[in-house]
Structure 1
């Protein structure tokens, strides 16, 4: 997994927009899940990280992450939507519930009036159902989509994005819970807390169930990343 990340590590810049690339975020839970199932994301072009803890660990193990880039309005989402809007690209959104999508669309149009949203689909479908995947692909192609935003939650959204790699001219970006979080607040993570690396405070308050996940996954992440780093060193010396 360490070698995979080194090869796929990505930093978003408007000056080098990733046309046609498939980009996912990895967090502690998805790192742990995919480290032994890397075939499920093997065709992904780039990996981005928005958690301070996982970024810190990766730096400890010699992987250079320039800075934290989360997909929300205080960080990556705004320049990304501005680029899509200013360049008249077609946006397709996948994730959350239908009600969340409707609210999200209204929010985006309010903030970016020229944004062209050509299609939406909720995130409640089975990513292993090829008929469903092919029907969604058909809609994406018919609408001449240039950019797909995927917010289906960890694991599902990464697998789905990997399934889109045959759509070579379309950029795909995962965004976690951004779509549903926007319905709760368009400023879900205040910029000052992001600057101080305290996004976790907001998530712990608003989403208490995450505390249990953190207690479980963070120690595992340290262990498994250490193992993966040792194995990557052994591979290089063979």
Structure 2
């Protein structure tokens, strides 16, 4: 189990941990029904904080931010000599947590995406882990929620008895949601995005060789060029350049911390 602390990558604190530590932390919070907001960040996720100081403070207010993308893991090594043997990939983390929940009789609430994706996701999870309890699920409304809707949603999740939430709203909306709902639901929230589609079978994953080489972004770009080209063609080079500046010490990236002034987005 590896936990080497958290380190600023372009002003976003990323935890140098492995799967075992992440799962153990989530299970501990789930069993005691304690708040624990978790995000698996790839380059795009880091860059949302880099370009928005308010969102960076939200990210830095989360309990655990794991290096989902290989370039994020590599940055921990280049900048801080943290030689993690693997990234903590959101879809794999989701499966490991689901397996641990099944073994312990814990339940999970699925929130986000579309109903048809949720149905397939839940079906595939319970086929693989028959003892896993799905306490409830509901799709995103794909709009901002009113304050009343926000309160009702939190109450529904708490009433379900769920020990944790698997959250799939896409970056950065899911991180905003996890930050805002952390103290409303008081259980772990795992912002795992594409894991919903991957495990539902509605979106294919990149071959492992591309994942290991940090080229998963290229595979996804080929799949959805119109939706993703700005994310990858613009943000990836910007990420590399600023990591280079941080490495040389030519630019400092001081992590901001939550100060209570963060915007309430209430997106659901």
- Relative to the length of structure 1, the TM-score reads 0.82
Question: Larger % of strand: which?
Answer: 2
- Assess, with a 3 A threshold, how the Cα gap between structure 1 residues 41 and 201 changes in structure 2: closer, same or farther: closer
Deviation at 1:78, TM superposition (A): 2.5
Match of 1:13 in 2: 20
Q: Distance in 1 between matches of 2:124 and 2:252?
A: 46
Q: Which moved more, 1:125-134 or 1:50-59?
A: 125-134
Q: Residue 64 of structure 1 is aligned with which of 76, 82, 87? A: 82
Q: Residue 39 of structure 1 is aligned with which of 44, 49, 57? A: 57
Match of 1:231 in 2: 252
Q: Residue 150 of structure 1 is aligned with which of 163, 167, 171? A: 167
- Assess, with a 3 A threshold, how the Cα gap between structure 1 residues 85 and 148 changes in structure 2: closer, same or farther: same
Structure 1 unaligned spans of 5+: 234-238
Q: Residue 109 of structure 2 is aligned with which of 92, 104, 110? A: 92
Deviation at 1:123, TM superposition (A): 2.3
- Assess, with a 3 A threshold, how the Cα gap between structure 1 residues 25 and 127 changes in structure 2: closer, same or farther: farther
Equivalences for residues 43-122 of structure 1 within 5 A: 43-62=61-80, 64=82, 66=84, 67-72=86-91, 75-122=92-139
Does the aligned pair in 2 maintain the 1:97–1:122 contact within 8 Å?
yes
Tell me, what secondary structure is at the counterpart of 2:162? coil
Deviation at 1:197, TM superposition (A): 4.2
- Assess, with a 3 A threshold, how the Cα gap between structure 1 residues 132 and 126 changes in structure 2: closer, same or farther: farther
Count of aligned pairs: 231
Q: Distance in 1 between matches of 2:83 and 2:112?
A: 27
- Relative to the length of structure 2, the TM-score reads 0.74
Can you list the C-alpha shifts for 1:202-237, whole angstroms capped at 9, x where unaligned?
A: 32332334344211001222344456663258xxxx
Q: Distance in 2 between matches of 1:205 and 1:232?
A: 32
Root mean square deviation of aligned Cα: 2.9
- Assess, with a 3 A threshold, how the Cα gap between structure 1 residues 131 and 9 changes in structure 2: closer, same or farther: farther
